[in-house]
Each structure stands twice: as structure tokens, then as C-alpha cells.
Amino acid sequence: MNKQQKQTVKRIDAAFDKLYKLDNINWTPHREILFKMNRDDEKKHRNISGLSSYRDAASVSDCAKLFTVHHIAESLLNPNQYTIKDTLHIRKSCIYAQALVNNYEDKIRAAWIDEDIEYLANLDYIELVNYELYKEQQEKRAA
């Protein structure tokens, strides 16, 4: 990974770590459940897509953390983004993240008091798995 990717992972790790409060609300470790959902999805994706052989890609765990904080941040910005109909077409982790926000928004916002939620909601998976492609996409958007 390059310096930019490492910096992004560092910010993701910090936001993810602050969500430990979701594991201490009741007997259900919500942060860990959401993380495991995303990790399992990422493993499946890498096996199917051949990404597992891409040498500069971030780890499965780093990408799972990205999706964990990304989905929660998206849900903070749009808490009613998904409906029950969407469960057939999107990742289950998106619905779970939205449910966490709908139930524990105050706790999440308190944990992320100093986090840039817009930044987290706009995290780009491609940045962590193929930085050259990410740069190309950014250049095209800027043009």
C-alpha cells in the first residue's frame, strides 16, 4: 500500500475503533456482527473476482472496516435510505447498519463527535484495492 492508502486505513481504523460502544449496549456485539458480515462478503468477492491475487490491495479486514464505517456514515446522512424491499438487492450489512443508526444514532454520533461523517460516507473501496484505478477515476471526475 502507498502512503495515501495507509492514511485512509488509519482514519478508517480510528472511526471503527470508536464504534466499540456498539458492542457494549446490550448482549449483542453489534459492531463485531457488522464487521463479520462485511468481512465474509469481502472474502467472497475476492474469491469470485480474483482480487485475492492483487498485490497492492488492502487486507480483507481493512476493507471490511471500510464498509462498516461507510455504511454507518451513509445511514447517518440518510437514515431511511433502504426499505424491506431492498433486502433482495443490496448487501445485508447495509440494512444492518441502517438498523443500528435507527436504534442507536445518539450513541454513534457521540462516539464520532470528532469524525467527518461526510468523509466516511464517501469512502471509496477502489482506493484501497486499486489505487491507480482510483486516481484515474478522480482525474476523470475533476475534468
Question: Is pLDDT at 52 greater than 70 in this prediction?
Answer: no
Environment class of 70 (CB within 10 Å of its CB; exposed 0-12, middle 13-18, buried 19+): buried
Could you read off the pLDDT of 121-136 as tens digits, one per residue? 999 998 898 888 888 8
Domains of the chain, residue spans:
3-142
Lowest mean pLDDT among 12-21, 39-48, 88-97: 39-48
* Residue with the larger pLDDT of the pair 138 and 102: 102
**In 3D, which of 13, 5, 65 has the Cα closest to residue 37?**
65
Averaged pLDDT for residues 13-41: 94
Question: Is pLDDT at 138 greater than 60 in this prediction?
Answer: yes
Contact in structure between 73 and 120 (CB atoms under 8 Å): yes
Sign of CA dihedral 87, 34, 75, 141: negative
Could you give the CA distance from residue 110 to residue 21 in angstroms, rounded to a whole number?
10
